[in-house]
Amino acid sequence: MNLQESMMTEGLQALKKKRFQDAEACFSQIISMDEQNVTGWKNLGLVWLKTERHREAIDAYTVANHLSPDDADILYNLGIAHLHCEEDAVGLSALEKSYRLNPNFDLAILLGDSFHNLHDYNKSAYYYLSAYKTNKTHELLQYKLAIALYRNGDLDQAIGISAHLVIQHPKERKYMDLFVDFYRRIPNVQFNAEAFNAIEICLKQDNVKFSNLRSAWSSLLLLNPDFEKFRQFSRHTDENGPRTIQIEDITKELGSFYLCTGLIKIFASGIPLEYMLTNLRRYFLLDWKNHEAWPKEALSFLVALSVQCWFNDFVYYVTEEEKSAFADLRQHLKSLLDQAERKLPDSAAPLLALYCCFDPLYSLYERDDKLPLSKSALYQLRPLILHQLTNPRTEAQLATTIPSFTEIQDVTSQAVQKMYEQRPYPRWSSSIVSETQADLRKASEGMEILVAGCGTGQEPAFYANIAQSSHITAIDLSRTSIAYGMRQAKEMGFLPRINFLHGDLMQVGKLDKKFDFVASSGVLHHLKEPEKGLEAIVSTLKPNGRMSLSLYSKEARKFALDPASEYIREKGYNSSIDDIRQFRRDLFTMKVNDPILRCTTAADFFNLAECNDMLFHVQEHRYTLLEFRDMAARHGLEPIDIALSPEKKRGFKASFPDRESLDFDAMTDYEQQNPQAFFEMYKIYFKRVGDTSVHPFDQLIRLGAI
């Protein structure tokens, strides 16, 4: 063994025993004898890497790389050293070269993590996917891959992997939340058994954000081959002739967990499904006198359907024949209930459920005591009783306790208030309650949040969950809506941190309070003078605060709603329940490509109050992106981000690869090419002009998580 070999052995032994000074001396002496000794430079770099002398490690590995350009280990350690020096671009370039020379699972994960932290979801997804191909059972990898794919706009793969995670780990809540978040209002075009099973698992939980599943749940029900007989029965009308499928042939589907629990937890949407449910409701109503011959599964279905009808504010069309049959049913049930001295027979339970598919239970039963039914019948009716009797009573009591900070004086605001007092809008069934990250929880300590126009309280509940050390003030002009939100917040444990107040947004300054974050979604465009409303809420924002504003898009609503609005005017329809139902029913028979049907792509179409808000509102303003930006600028605000789904981000980048999303001229061109892009609303985040501070919500805004 020559001297260099001897010193190399001695140096490696010292390195192994963590005698770094001795190891450094050995490797340095080897290099002094032979500057071309690649191994010497590699090992010296390793000593400096382990002793956190990263800049010196870079120097050593740079020389080693020059001597041996295709050594994957040298490139790997060179990349790691650069990352430690926060030189991400150079470091990741070296790591990518190392991966190309020696692809391996751990390095793919490291690259995936690194690019994900840099928000380069394209490369992050690529490397996670490379690792996944070698190990498809790695749980954490699947989780990371699903997120990267989603943020890169690859929804199909993201949904598939998240569904697989839910099925593999049916008790792991974070995978359900991920799956539900990815599936947000996306329908299926073909049956997917894995997605069907994943949704069933989610339906067994409470407080999953079921509203995201409305399109997927509905489409899978319509595509599942096991429900074919059910679909045929539901689509049958008198014009089709005698039934070839009887109610007894669909008992399994009628009482199925997927159907019944879905109807209770998910607000269904889609004309085909509504047509089926309306037909089924009609079938049972016209057959109510034969109810004792109904299969036992009919009760489960009718209870579920009654909850669904409650959710949609009884929007389904009712024929004159049904109105007559319903009047007879009501009279029959009233006569039974008037016999207060004895309990109703259990056979009355499906009739009560059927009644509640057309009108709320509290319109039939006004006494304070519980329904005179057996324990068994009451147990089966419990979802119906909760939604149509217990909750409305609770909300009526809460409404009397809501403090006011001002009266509603503006004439337009009074008209809007009257509209929203008729029905709480929008109804929602669940919101995710989860543990937030410790750093965000700490950062939100003492944070004051204002929700200006809180409606039924879903937005305040969201902020109470995501910023769990904050305090929220939520104002609205509708006591009915606020009471709904208070009940929901109380059930989720958020009420102590949400101060619900009744009053006029135009006078929000009377709160005499400043806020770190102000959110106003879908409110300003319903004011007579939106700029005065904006001026009022801007006055409550702290100098270093952030604001989220959502307004209607002129382009999107012109494209999607104006054909329907013109049809409404031609027909002379008003905002009465009968007219809204008739207008909606008219659309069921229109040709698929009729522009009037564009309004049915909105989930709002499938709820009476929301359809009223969308097409029959007493006051509405619309904006272009440039008008929105300029209005905000007049009040000292500058945009910091615009909310875009991953698919919209990908679409915008495909059309304008060199432009940023805050380039509103480019975004305007993108919207003109895709007029439905902002159908729901524009959502833009602002700060005060010239503010250079860092806000706790900035990271969440960039991620589109708030």
SS3 392: helix
pLDDT at 536 over 60: yes
pLDDT tens, position by position, 82-98: 999 999 999 999 999 99
Picking from 395, 419, 447, the residue at the C-terminal end of a domain is 395
Mean pLDDT confidence for 430-455: 71
Query: Are 256 and 176 members of one domain?
Result: no
d(CA 560, CA 598): 5
Picking from 202, 223, 244, the residue at the C-terminal end of a domain is 223
| Domain region containing 581 | 556-615
CA distances for 493 relative to 434, 439, 496, 639, angstroms: 12, 21, 7, 34
Place of tokens 């159908």: 679
Query: Are 522 and 420 members of one domain?
Result: yes
Mean pLDDT confidence for 119-125: 94
**Beta-bridge mates of residue 425:** none
| Token pair of 313 as six digits | 């504010």
Phi and psi (nearest 5°) for 565?
Answer: -65, -40
Mean pLDDT of the chain: 91
Query: Are 381 and 426 members of one domain?
Result: no
pLDDT band of residue 465 (cuts 50, 70, 90) is confident
Note whether residue 125 is domain-resident: no
Single-letter residue type at 459? E
pLDDT top residue among 339 and 627: 627
d(CA 284, CA 167): 36
pLDDT tens, position by position, 606-617: 999 999 999 998
d(CA 48, CA 583): 76
Mean pLDDT confidence for 423-452: 69
pLDDT at 497 over 60: yes
pLDDT at 431 over 90: no
pLDDT band of residue 419 (cuts 50, 70, 90) is very low
Single-letter residue type at 680? E
Mean pLDDT confidence for 515-536: 96
**How far does Cα 582 stand from its chain's mean position?**
31
State residue 226's pLDDT score: 96
pLDDT tens, position by position, 543-591: 999 999 999 999 999 999 999 999 999 999 999 999 999 999 999 999 9
State residue 544's pLDDT score: 96
Mean pLDDT confidence for 626-653: 94
Note whether residue 132 is domain-resident: no
Mean pLDDT confidence for 34-43: 91
Note whether residue 143 is domain-resident: no
Mean pLDDT confidence for 9-27: 89
d(CA 259, CA 255): 7
pLDDT band of residue 421 (cuts 50, 70, 90) is low
pLDDT tens, position by position, 312-321: 999 999 999 9
Query: Are 319 and 350 members of one domain?
Result: yes
Mean pLDDT confidence for 318-332: 97
pLDDT at 52 over 80: yes
| Token pair of 146 as six digits | 């699903």
Query: Are 262 and 313 members of one domain?
Result: yes
Picking from 343, 365, 395, the residue at the C-terminal end of a domain is 395
CA distances for 147 relative to 178, 196, 232, angstroms: 8, 20, 39
d(CA 251, CA 293): 13
Query: Are 459 and 530 members of one domain?
Result: yes
For residue 436, give the CATH number of its domain: 3.40.50.150
Residue 244 has a CB neighbour count (10 Å cut-off) of 11
Q: Residue 628 in contact with residue 556, Cβ under 8 Å?
A: no
CA distances for 286 relative to 90, 185, 310, angstroms: 74, 34, 20
* Short-list 333, 233, 326, CA closest to 286: 326
Q: How many residues does the chain have?
A: 706
Place of tokens 């006198």: 289
Place of tokens 């191909």: 133
SS3 477: coil
Note whether residue 116 is domain-resident: no
Note whether residue 209 is domain-resident: yes
Kind and range of the H or E run holding 21: helix 20-33
State residue 105's pLDDT score: 97
Query: Are 213 and 249 members of one domain?
Result: no
State residue 440's pLDDT score: 56
Query: Are 371 and 518 members of one domain?
Result: no
CA distances for 450 relative to 470, 536, 545, 593, 595, angstroms: 11, 12, 11, 43, 39
**Exposed / middle / buried, residue 294 (Cβ in 10 Å: 0-12, 13-18, 19+):** buried
The pTM of this model reads: 0.87
Place of tokens 């995501």: 466
SS3 541: strand
Q: Residue 427 in contact with residue 488, Cβ under 8 Å?
A: no
**Least confident piece of the model among 158-167, 365-374, 512-521:** 365-374
d(CA 276, CA 5): 83
Query: Are 565 and 541 members of one domain?
Result: no
Query: Are 470 and 509 members of one domain?
Result: yes
Note whether residue 507 is domain-resident: yes
State residue 409's pLDDT score: 55
pLDDT band of residue 340 (cuts 50, 70, 90) is low
Place of tokens 């304008």: 656
State residue 413's pLDDT score: 47
Note whether residue 390 is domain-resident: yes
pLDDT band of residue 441 (cuts 50, 70, 90) is low
pLDDT at 478 over 70: yes
- Number of domains forming the structure of the chain: 5
In order, the DSSP letters of 618-666 are S----B-HHHHHHHHHHTTEEEEEE---HHHHHHHHHH-TT--TT-HHH
State residue 425's pLDDT score: 66
For residue 75, give the CATH number of its domain: 1.25.40.10
Place of tokens 């009712």: 318
State residue 36's pLDDT score: 93
Rounded to 5, what percent of the chain is helix, strand, coil? 60, 5, 30
Query: Are 611 and 540 members of one domain?
Result: no
Note whether residue 573 is domain-resident: yes
Query: Are 415 and 517 members of one domain?
Result: yes
Strands ordered across the beta sheet of 515-521? 498-502, 471-476, 448-452, 515-521, 541-551, 682-688, 637-642
pLDDT band of residue 443 (cuts 50, 70, 90) is low
